[in-house]
Chains A and B, each alone.
Chain A
Amino acid sequence: MLRRALDGGGVYLVLAGLLALVPLVNSDAYFVHILTLSLMHSALASSWNLICGYTGLFSFGHQAFFGLGAYVSSLMAMKAGLSPWLGLVVGGGVAAAAGFVIALPCLRLRAPPYIAIATLGFAEICRFTAMNLVGLTRGELGLWGIPEMTPVPVPGVGQVSFTGQRVPYFYLMLAIYVAMMALLYWLVRSPLGLALKSVRDSEDAAESLGVDIVRTKILIFVLSSFLAGVVGAFYAHYVLILTPSSVLSVGVMIEIVAMTLIGGLGTFLGPTVGAFGITLLLEYMRVLGDYRLLIYGALLIAIILFIPEGIAKRLLPRRVAL
């Protein structure tokens, strides 16, 4: 019975439950902040893993959806007084619409380099737009004054305020992450999950067996973009300042790729393992100054060379990693 529960996703609920207990044990603001960033990166990398790892579409412009979610939610809150809670959905929605737009030209492209260039081009257009619409975004000077999440009543806890607090943001991010992973868990085990993997392995064969690859690709672009947009919106209302280079640069994309590859591309838990590993490593190696980037680079190369399938697949039991 225990085994059945674990196979049915219970192991992930146990892990999430353990994670929820961490701030009760150690509520140090910096520590909680690092955990929150790790969860955020996990969610972002998992959303990219859906499109690249499971569907085989090498999008190299995922930062565009993250950045769009961040900017749209911030600007809607600042200029139109939209609640940041609604901003999470609106940011995700605008990112999803952008995902739909970029999916259309990508439908004609099959080779990964072309899809990478097309999506990167789109992301760069977004970045340059944010840089040059100074009147709206303040460009690289940074958009500041973004409202924090508004207080929310939680049953059994009372009114929870986010002002100057780290722990509530941690639990909010954990809730977003758990909801997202539950969706992905269901999706990759559903017939749609089979269709995604078939498109990844052979588009011709998938189509010859009745899979509508156009609809599948559009759907996955839209869903993946929506998830990235929600995470971006959360980020904006958490760090409270945005610059184009912090949310729309290629550097963000490289981090997403590195986390996913290290953890395990196309595995359920891989991006989370990679995101926690890299985020914690980089933060706790700050004492080493710039040498930490050298170590980070060397470690990245070593893992790709010696554990190309990713840490999750190598170290975790198969039913947990996948």
Chain B
Amino acid sequence: MRLLLSRGELLGLIGPNGAGKTTLFNVIAGVYRPDEGNVVFQGRDITRLRPHARCRLGLARTFQLTKPFLGLGVLENVTLGAYYGAKGGRPGLGEARDRAEDVLRRVGLGGKRDHLASTLTVGERKRLELARAVATQPSVLLLDEVVAGLSSAEVGEMMEIIRSIWASGVTILMVEHVMRAVMGISQRIVVLHQGQVLAGGTPATVASNPDVVSAYLGSASALAAPTAGA
């Protein structure tokens, strides 16, 4: 398969369970090494780089099941990303902390900065996960089901945060099951099925593709883009 992510794009990656979305995600992030083929980032072959090195090049990710550092405070969680993951040289600890505070405010966790991560709710942990990745100042952000498990109101808030991150110039690849979210925000959608690219195009094109409807949900309405205000 070949997947091209253009600079400044917000690409949604969807597919039924077992399609290979998370596997592909992990190959891009460096958790898995592909049996064959390459991962090229900004013209450089990064196939053999470990995840931390990819992060320092500007490729950050979140996890489907959040992995907060439970023994650390919220600010410390984000400071770690700002310090170790920074592109183009490591900042001072004070600078990293300032950046972390700024990111926490942007994701609406400014009031929780001194709390232990273990005390956060599911929704807050999702935001923390996002904040840590954003603090690394990525060029490309990989979001793995970042709104899964959130209430309808929380999904709306999270999409606004993602929009603002995208608007700041970050390229985003988003794996998502919540159609309302992914169809409403993505510029382009790629559908995976059994490890292959089944279709690609605008959300409207993909939602009306009979192969996608048949392979994915069996219902055109389930893939429909959200109506205004949704």
* Distance, CA A207 to CA B29, complexed state (A): 10
For A201, A204, A209, the residue with the greatest tally of chain B CB atoms inside 10 Å of its CB is: A209
Tell me how many residues of B have a C-beta within 8 Å of chain A: 30
Would you call A194 and B72 a contact (CB within 8 A)?
yes
B56 cross-chain contacts in A, Cβ below 8 A: 210
Please, what's the 1-or-0 string for A204-222, where 1 marks a CB less than 8 Å from any CB in chain B? 1111111111100000000
- The answer to whether A195 touches B80, judged by C-beta atoms less than 8 angstroms apart, is yes
| A202 at interface, CB cutoff 8 A | yes
Say if the beta carbon of A191 comes within 8 Å of chain B: yes
A198 in complex: contacting residue of B29, B80, B86, CB < 8 Å: B80
What is the bound-complex CA distance between A209 and B67, given in angstroms? 11
Q: Return the CB mask of B75-104 against A: 1 if under 8 Å, else 0.
A: 010011101111000000100100000000
Asked if B63 is at the interface (CB within 8 A of a chain A CB), the reply is yes
Q: Collect the chain A residues with CB atoms within 8 Å of residue B133's CB.
A: 208-209
B residues near A138, Cβ cutoff 8 Å: none
Known contacts A191-B84, A202-B67: A209-B93 contact under CB 8 Å? no
The contact of A209 among B31, B55, B71, by CB within 8 Å, is B55
Query: Residues of A contacting B31 with CB < 8 Å?
Result: 204
Assess whether A201 is in contact with B85, with CB atoms less than 8 Å apart: no
Q: Chain A interface: which size bin?
A: 20 to 34
Which interface residue of A195, A205, A206, A213 has the most chain B CB atoms within 10 A?
A205
Q: Of all chain B residues, which has the CB nearest A189?
A: B93
B71 touches A194 (CB 8 A): no
Q: Is B15 an interface residue (CB 8 A)?
A: no
In the complex, A33 has a CB within 8 A of chain B: no
In chain A, what residue has the closest Cβ to B87?
A: A210
Question: Is B60's beta carbon under 8 Å from chain A?
Answer: yes
Q: Are B29 and A208 in contact (CB under 8 A)?
A: yes
**Nearest CB in chain A to that of B85: its residue:** A210
Instruction: Kindly list chain A residues whose C-beta atoms are within 8 Å of the C-beta of B93.
Output: 190-191
Question: Please, how many angstroms separate the alpha-carbon atoms of A266 and B71 in the complex?
Answer: 10
Q: A195-B80, A198-B80, A204-B63 are in contact. Are A209 and B85 (CB under 8 A)?
A: yes
Q: Is A200 an interface residue (CB 8 A)?
A: yes
A-B contact pairs, 20 of them (CB 8 A): A191-B80, A194-B79, A194-B80, A197-B69, A197-B71, A198-B72, A198-B80, A200-B71, A201-B69, A202-B69, A206-B80, A207-B50, A207-B52, A208-B29, A208-B133, A209-B52, A210-B55, A210-B56, A210-B81, A211-B84
Using a CB–CB distance below 8 Å, which chain B residues touch chain A? 29, 31, 50-53, 55-56, 60-61, 63, 67-72, 76, 79-81, 83-86, 93, 96, 132-133, 136
